[in-house]
Amino acid sequence: MISPRRQINLLFALQLISMGAMEMSGPFWPVHLRPLTPSDDLFTFATITVYVGPMFGIMLTSSFWGRMGDRFGHRAMMMRALFGLAITQFALAFAGDVWLILILRFLQGGCAGYIAPAQAYGVRIENPTRRAKLFAFLQVSTNLGSLAGALVGGVILDRATFFWINFSAAILCCICLASVWVFLPVIEPYPHRDLSAKGRRTSSSSSINLLRSPQVVLILSILGMLLLGRMVTQAPFSMYVLSTFNVGNWVVGLCYGLLALGFVASASLWARYFESRSTRDVLRGMSLVIAGCIIVVLLAGVTRSILVFTAIYFVWGALLGATTPVLTSLVSRSVCDHQQGHVLGLTQSTAQFSAISGIALGACFSQFAGLSNVYFLVGFVYAVALILAVVVRGQLGRAKQPSYIPGG
């Protein structure tokens, strides 16, 4: 059996490959859908739904799959997710009808949900004091997979048809599925000790208490607001850069990539910095990071220098490297070990809901208030997240919550 460190490294590789496989088609769905849609209205609807559909699927099912992982094992849920991705990618490779494609994309999100069980599996084999570093490690893998997948997808499309993007992605998912089956050992789930009516009531109460935990809900709210703010610029980004700075499309891609590059460069460093700190100390540092994000996005909204704008995007990405992994680790350590799948699935659902809301809000706001004001909206959303962080830290101070004890 491979060592825990090698298992973590394998999780990194599997997440990079599987997420890269999904992102191979990401930038090119509009190119594929254009000849399949007879009207501009249907094309607009399809290009939005083809991205939002999987998010809805993940949002609706992540918590459920997380609870199934707690009950039946997270390795099994990883294999189920990879199998679902492989099957839907094979189907998408042969789908020639726009409505069938949209249905398959929704089912892909509902059947997949790979990230949450991979995180929960990692929690079982990693030292509790290193959870922030674990989540940062896996988040870096996701970002690298997104960058590499889009690049490989473009190369394939330059030399072949869209069919080969989806077909290749399906093959990669099958390889990941086989790797999980062969190389990752089974970790038995925590036993469900009491299946009587009393035990079922206890289990139900446990789930309800998880959702009613003020600390979990408020930290998820902070995480959700930060992700919503990040996604506000998703839809209007290219139009904003082109209209404001009068540059080529390659500069748009460069700025977009620098955000991910900043995240990749900083996530592990932030995780090491926040490692083993109490929740109150983490939230104090997170408040400063969010304040930095506010300053950065406001500068992005007022600058008219493309050089300054590109530098800002790298710094923004570097600040974001402290947010998702560290806050996810706070949520993870706020609950007991046998609820990890449930709470991480809930975190994934929160992320998808926030992403959908941010995309919709950004598109509507830029249309009615103008592209030039979109970064001020991001600053406002971040200000709400900052207020939430201060409130949560204040509540923990009044409760005099002790520092986190590894394994406690």
In a domain, 4, yes or no: yes
Are both 257 and 319 inside the same structural domain?
Answer: yes
Residue 405 confidence (pLDDT) above 80: no
Are both 154 and 88 inside the same structural domain?
Answer: yes
76-93 residue pLDDT tens: 899 999 999 999 999 999
pLDDT of 213 reads 64
The tokens describing 91, both together, are: 């189907």
pLDDT of 408 reads 31
Identify residue 215 by its one-letter amino acid code.
Q
Residue 129 confidence (pLDDT) above 80: no
Select the more confidently predicted residue: 308 or 218. 308
Select the more confidently predicted residue: 346 or 312. 312
Are both 238 and 127 inside the same structural domain?
Answer: no
The tokens describing 283, both together, are: 């939230």
Are both 142 and 43 inside the same structural domain?
Answer: yes
The total number of structural domains that make up the chain? 2
Q: Taking residues 316-326, what's their average pLDDT?
A: 90
Specify the CATH number for the domain of residue 243.
1.20.1250.20
Among 166, 189, 212, give the residue marking a domain's end. Answer: 189
The tokens describing 155, both together, are: 């190369």
141-159 residue pLDDT tens: 887 887 788 778 888 888 8
* Residue 109: φ, ψ to 5°: -65, -40
Q: What is the reported pTM?
A: 0.72
| Crossing angle of the two packed helices 214-231 and 374-399, in degrees rounded to 10 | 170
Residue pointed to by tokens 């042969």: 94
Among 158, 189, 220, give the residue marking a domain's end. Answer: 189
Are both 34 and 73 inside the same structural domain?
Answer: yes
Interatomic CA distance for residues 161 and 198, integer angstroms: 58
In a domain, 280, yes or no: yes
- CB 354 within 8 Å of CB 324: no
Interatomic CA distance for residues 312 and 375, integer angstroms: 12
Q: Which domain holds residue 378?
A: 203-393
In a domain, 400, yes or no: no
The tokens describing 289, both together, are: 């990071």
CA angle 144, 171, 110 (to 5 degrees): 75
- CB 139 within 8 Å of CB 43: no
Are both 148 and 237 inside the same structural domain?
Answer: no
Q: Taking residues 49-74, what's their average pLDDT?
A: 83
Number of H helices, E strands in the chain: 17, 0
The tokens describing 219, both together, are: 């930290």
Interatomic CA distance for residues 265 and 66, integer angstroms: 29
pLDDT of 172 reads 95
Are both 159 and 250 inside the same structural domain?
Answer: no
Confidence of residue 43 (pLDDT cuts 50, 70, 90): confident
Helices (H), 214-339: 214-231, 237-245, 249-274, 279-302, 306-320, 324-333
Are both 117 and 64 inside the same structural domain?
Answer: yes
Are both 185 and 332 inside the same structural domain?
Answer: no
Q: Taking residues 110-122, what's their average pLDDT?
A: 82
Residue 193 confidence (pLDDT) above 80: no
Residue 407 confidence (pLDDT) above 60: no
Q: Tell me which long-range contacts 103-108 makes (C-beta under 8 A, separation of at least 24).
A: 105/49, 105/50, 105/53, 105/54, 105/57, 106/53, 106/54, 106/56, 106/57, 107/57, 108/53, 108/54, 108/57, 108/84
Are both 167 and 261 inside the same structural domain?
Answer: no
Interatomic CA distance for residues 187 and 170, integer angstroms: 26
Interatomic CA distance for residues 102 and 53, integer angstroms: 7
Q: What is the 8-class DSSP label of residue 189?
A: P
Task: Lowest mean pLDDT of 64-68, 95-99, 108-112, 241-245, name the range.
Answer: 64-68
Are both 174 and 216 inside the same structural domain?
Answer: no
260-317 residue pLDDT tens: 888 888 888 898 888 878 888 989 999 999 999 999 999 999 999 999 999 999 999 9
Nearest residue to 344 via CA among 327, 320, 359, 361: 327
DSSP string, 14-38: HHHHHHHHHHTSGGGHHHHHGGG-S
Nearest residue to 345 via CA among 189, 141, 113, 143: 113
Nearest residue to 121 via CA among 405, 345, 407: 345
